[in-house]
């Protein structure tokens, strides 16, 4: 059996490999002159949904998580994602976007939220949400930053670099630390691997749909 440390290393490599494949799912052309700011704004509105869902999920899991270190980590994450929501809102106001009547959860919870909500063990939760989904978010945010730089939205790029990404790195570390400590049996490693794979499979389906049906790539995560 792999030690927990070896297991997490292999799992992270697997996630990185799948993310590199995801990046190759066609990227629509850069927005034309005049469309650039609209494209940035529509992606920031998607980000509001992702932040809200990530905050709710961490808060929802906190009471049913027995491990004190993970429970406190989830509490911090719920606060971080709520803060990101407010910061993105404020940033949209600086771009003169009117959010009156905007509902981030319009149409109901996303398929990713519904998948994650179903996990009941700490191992599955952190493997799926903190390690895998947050790793995806880190990469998607990097792509979004590059997209903003290309679209002339330097302030948005800088905002993501300095205000959002450091917390997202911490969320991934929470996932890693938790698995390194608790994924110490073959059974727990099987559960973690299955949960991580389910998130990657769903992310691939979402990415395909966003690119081919909605023409959106580089949407920020949470
Ligand atoms: Fe996050
Ligand atoms: Fe976030």
- Each residue's pLDDT, cut to its tens digit, for the chain (222 residues) gives 899 999 999 999 999 999 998 877 755 556 665 678 899 999 999 999 999 999 999 999 999 999 999 999 999 999 999 999 999 999 999 999 999 999 999 999 999 999 999 999 999 999 999 999 999 999 999 999 999 999 999 999 999 999 999 999 999 999 999 999 999 999 999 999 999 999 999 999 998 888 887 777 778 888
CATH code, 63 = 1.20.1260.10
Query: What's the half-sphere exposure (Cβ side, CA atoms, 13 Å) at 221?
Result: 25
What is the number of domains present in the chain? 1
**What is the 145 CA–ligand 1 centroid distance (Å)?**
16
> Is residue 144, in this structure, part of any structural domain at all?
yes
Query: Nearest ligand to the C-alpha of residue 51?
Result: 2
- Structural domain boundaries enclosing 10: 4-22+35-100+108-214
> Is residue 185, in this structure, part of any structural domain at all?
yes
66, with CB counted inside 10 A (0-12, 13-18, 19+), is exposed
pTM of the entire structure?
A: 0.94
> Is residue 220, in this structure, part of any structural domain at all?
no
> Is residue 129, in this structure, part of any structural domain at all?
yes
**What is the 33 CA–ligand 1 centroid distance (Å)?**
31
- What is the C-alpha to C-alpha distance for residues 77 and 177, in angstroms, rounded to an integer? 14
Q: Which helix (H) or strand (E) holds 13?
A: helix 4-23
**What is the 222 CA–ligand 2 centroid distance (Å)?**
4
> Is residue 201, in this structure, part of any structural domain at all?
yes
- What is the C-alpha to C-alpha distance for residues 13 and 108, in angstroms, rounded to an integer? 33
């Amino acid at each position: 059996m792999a030690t927990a440390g070896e297991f997490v290393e292999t799992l992270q490599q697997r996630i990185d490999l799948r993310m590199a494949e995801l990046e190759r799912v066609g990227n629509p052309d850069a927005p034309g002159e005049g469309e650039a700011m609209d494209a940035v704004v529509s992606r920031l509105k998607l980000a509001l949904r992702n932040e809200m869902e990530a905050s709710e999920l961490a808060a929802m899991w906190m009471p049913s998580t027995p491990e004190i270190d993970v429970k406190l980590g989830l509490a911090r994450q719920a606060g971080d994602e709520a803060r990101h929501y407010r910061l993105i809102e404020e940033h949209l106001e600086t771009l003169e976007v009117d959010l009156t009547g905007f509902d981030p959860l319009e149409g109901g919870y996303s398929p990713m939220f519904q998948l994650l909500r179903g996990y009941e063990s700490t191992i599955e939760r952190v493997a799926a949400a903190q390690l895998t989904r947050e790793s995806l978010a880190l990469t998607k945010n990097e792509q979004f930053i590059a997209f903003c730089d290309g679209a002339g939205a330097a302030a948005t790029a800088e905002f993501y670099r300095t205000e959002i990404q450091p917390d997202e790195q911490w969320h991934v570390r929470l996932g890693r630390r938790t698995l390194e400590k608790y994924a110490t049996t073959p059974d727990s490693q099987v559960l973690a691997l299955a949960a991580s794979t389910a998130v990657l499979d769903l992310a691939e389906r979402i990415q395909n749909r966003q690119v081919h049906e909605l023409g959106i790539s580089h949407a920020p995560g949470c």
